[in-house]
Amino acid sequence: MQSISPEIIFRGNDAWKEALPQITKLSKRPLILGRSIHTNNLRNKINKDLKDQNLYVNSSNLEFDCCLEDLSRIKNIIQRNKCDSIIAAGGGKVLDAGKYLADSPFLPCITVPLSASTCAGWTALSNIYTINGQFIKDVTLRSCPKILVFDHTFIQTAPIRTLASGIADALAKWYESSLTSSKMEDGLVQQAIQISRVLRDQLLIDGEKAFKTQAAKGLSWQNTIEACGLTAGLIGGIGGEKCRTAAAHALHNAITQIISTPKFLHGEIVGVGILFQLKLEELKNNNKLANQSRKQLLVLMKELNLPTTISELGINVFENNNLEKIAEFTLRDDSEIHFLPFEINQKDIVEIITNLEKKEIIIK
Ligand SMILES: [Zn+2]
Strands (E), 17-108: 30-34, 58-61, 85-90
pLDDT at 360: 43
How many helices (H) and strands (E) the chain has is answered by 14, 8
Whole-number Å distance between alpha carbons of 170 and 1: 24
Share of the chain above pLDDT 90, in %: 87
pLDDT at 183: 81
Which whole-number Å values give the CA distances from 119 to 114, 157, 234, 331, in the listed order? 11, 17, 9, 26
pLDDT at 39: 95
pLDDT tens digits for range 277-311: 999 999 999 898 999 999 999 999 999 999 999 99
For residue 270, the CA-to-ligand 1 centroid distance in Å is: 7
Task: Answer yes or no: are the C-beta atoms of 190 and 290 closer than 8 Å.
Answer: no
For residue 267, the CA-to-ligand 1 centroid distance in Å is: 6
Q: Which of 233, 251, 211, 1 is nearest to 96 (CA)?
A: 233
Is pTM beyond 0.85 here?
yes
For residue 85, the CA-to-ligand 1 centroid distance in Å is: 26
For residue 137, the CA-to-ligand 1 centroid distance in Å is: 13
For residue 116, the CA-to-ligand 1 centroid distance in Å is: 12
Q: Is a pLDDT exceeding 70 seen at residue 362?
A: no
Task: Answer yes or no: are the C-beta atoms of 90 and 35 closer than 8 Å.
Answer: yes
pLDDT tens digits for range 107-150: 999 999 999 999 999 999 999 999 999 999 999 999 999 999 99
For residue 277, the CA-to-ligand 1 centroid distance in Å is: 14
For residue 4, the CA-to-ligand 1 centroid distance in Å is: 17
pLDDT tens digits for range 221-263: 999 999 999 999 999 999 987 677 889 999 999 999 997 656 8
Strands 30-34 and 109-113: unpaired
Whole-number Å distance between alpha carbons of 331 and 334: 8
